[in-house]
Amino acid sequence: MKKLIFITLVLSHCLGRAQAPEYLAALEKFQTHYNSEDAEAVFNLFSQSMQQSVNLPTTTQIVNSFQQRFGDLMSFSFKSEEGITETYNVHFERGKQSMRISLDSNGKFSGLLFKPFEDNSKAKIERNLTELALPFKGNWFTVWGGDTKAQNYHVIDRAQRHAFDFLILGKNNKTYERSGTRNEDYYAFGKPLYAVCEAEVIAVTTGVEDNKPGAMNPSQPLGNSVILKTDKNEYIVYAHFEEGTIKVKEGDRVRKGQFLGNCGNSGNSSEPHLHLHIQDGADIYSAIGVKCYFEKLLVNGELKRDYSPVKLDRIAPLNE
């Protein structure tokens, strides 16, 4: 799954110094308006060029989304300066973010970027204790998986640091047939997804439209999603289900191999795929990622036991 981004723009020319008074004043105004959920006031802090790139309805959607996920902005602290850009660590009620800003000569935001806060906090458990099956049938391809940034761009995100993105490759190692302009062109789209173990359904999100391939929905990053909780307090997150296909609800008890829904392209997803990760708590914005091992599977045609897939692995259940 892509990194959660609030707004990113080409930074226009402006003057600025690290911890300059105008930067602190702009941040304080942003904090006041954001905490008041006054999207129009936030929008009015933007420079003219930024307003042309990010309109008021989009600003409103993003402010509302951030409020739902993180709550109020409690404090910020200066971290570094790079040219005209200053970086801050920002503390919300329910998590942290890294914030980069630049201002124009009038003290307006000419650039603003939120990214997940990088930290080295340890999870309550290092790896899953429950034996897990693969969440699908047939042969799938590991787009992202592993412990390094080269293998897995998720590693910088606190909850998703051990996440996987899985899709299906077809002829000529392409993920789609025909033009690839429709979700139905993609081999992974509509494929059934299953519970990896016996667990309780603790959260379900539905009603998120599938994106057109190439587009993404960062305001609803998980899209249609399911979170399972095991008896050993492992929280297993499935993201990007096809709209209208999830067949479980909060409070259900599912068995290993039970159908959950179909693979889709909802949320912060540019093409149909399954995002899956384990975390040590229910809240995706405060939990820490847990490394995920599957009990037995075929990896590039070879039997593996207690294995965590890495980038470029072709994997399948043992009985395939």
Tell me the domain boundaries of the chain: 21-116, 140-316
Instruction: Say whether 230 sits in a helix, a strand or coil.
Output: coil
Residue 264, pLDDT score = 98
- The full length of the chain comes to 320
Q: What is the CA radius of gyration of the chain?
A: 21
The residue that leads in pLDDT, 205 or 218, is 205
Angle (deg, nearest 10), helices 56-70 and 21-35: 80
pLDDT digits (tens, 9 = 90+) for 269-310: 999 999 999 999 998 877 899 999 999 999 999 999 999 999
What is the Cα–Cα distance from 174 to 292, expressed in whole angstroms? 27
Those residues with Cβ within 8 angstroms of residue 98's Cβ, 6 or more apart along the chain or in another chain: 79, 87, 88, 89, 90, 114, 115, 116, 117, 118
What is the Cα–Cα distance from 176 to 166, expressed in whole angstroms? 14
Quickly state the pLDDT bin for 5 (edges 50, 70, 90). very low
What is the Cα–Cα distance from 33 to 30, expressed in whole angstroms? 5
What is the Cα–Cα distance from 133 to 127, expressed in whole angstroms? 15
Q: Average per-residue pLDDT in the chain?
A: 90
- Give Cα 211 to chain centroid, integer Å: 15
Given a cut of 90, whether residue 48 has pLDDT beyond it is yes
Which residue in the block uniquely carries the two structure tokens 């892509």?
2
Given a cut of 80, whether residue 64 has pLDDT beyond it is yes
Looking at 3.20.20.20, 2.60.40.10, 3.30.499.10, 2.70.70.10, the CATH number of the domain 140-316 comes to 2.70.70.10
Helix intervals (H) in the chain: 21-35, 39-43, 48-53, 56-70
Quickly state the pLDDT bin for 119 (edges 50, 70, 90). low
In CATH, the number for domain 21-116 is: 3.10.450.590
Quickly state the pLDDT bin for 116 (edges 50, 70, 90). confident
What is the Cα–Cα distance from 115 to 3, expressed in whole angstroms? 7
In this prediction, residues 48-69 reach a mean pLDDT of 90
170 backbone φψ class: left, alpha, beta (φ>0; ψ -120 to 50):
beta
Quickly state the pLDDT bin for 185 (edges 50, 70, 90). very high
